[in-house]
Structure 1
Amino acid sequence: MSDGFRTAWGPVLTAEDVDRRRAELISIIEDLASMERWQSELRDYTLAMARRCPLPDLLPNLAAFREVHAEVAARAAVDQDKQRLQGFEDRGPK
């Protein structure tokens, strides 16, 4: 189809759209692997699957990894705030 790739459940995607979304998925996976300290075998396998996933799986995978990434990033931010504020707890009234 010259207009792009058509899915039954999603938008029409141009080849550029597919490449951009696949690159975003790969970037999210790499970031998650780093934040969660994945073993290299798991990271490599997951990245390989993302690079080769069929088009009907791309958008659901991207949505799922975005959600997980947001949760992990939020937990990391809370943990960082707790560490930063830990010294203030000891400064209470004497």
Structure 2
Amino acid sequence: MKVLVTGASGYLGGRLCHALLRHGHAVRAFVRRSSDLSSLPARSKGVALEIAYGDVTDYSSVLEACTGCQVVFHAAAIVDTWLPCWF
């Protein structure tokens, strides 16, 4: 099964990519061009990891990334220490 993971360069998304690959799934990691990809599995022979560049706020890049995927895990989030706390 081909799986799209948004926020794949983040802590949760990166761990999810590792787990999905261990279980034999093909993974498309959806990341921004400016993302640090060091937490993602190394792309080598036998590793079914594909990188898709885009932004979750850009509809066309999300639509393109979803093409051919059977499942989407949405792990993208705004993480910033200066944002106000709502609770």
Normalization by structure 1: what TM-score? Answer: 0.26
Normalization by structure 2: what TM-score? Answer: 0.27
Q: Which has the higher contact order (CA 8 A, sep 6+)?
A: 2
Larger radius of gyration: 1
Greater strand share, 1 or 2? 2
Greater helix share, 1 or 2? 1
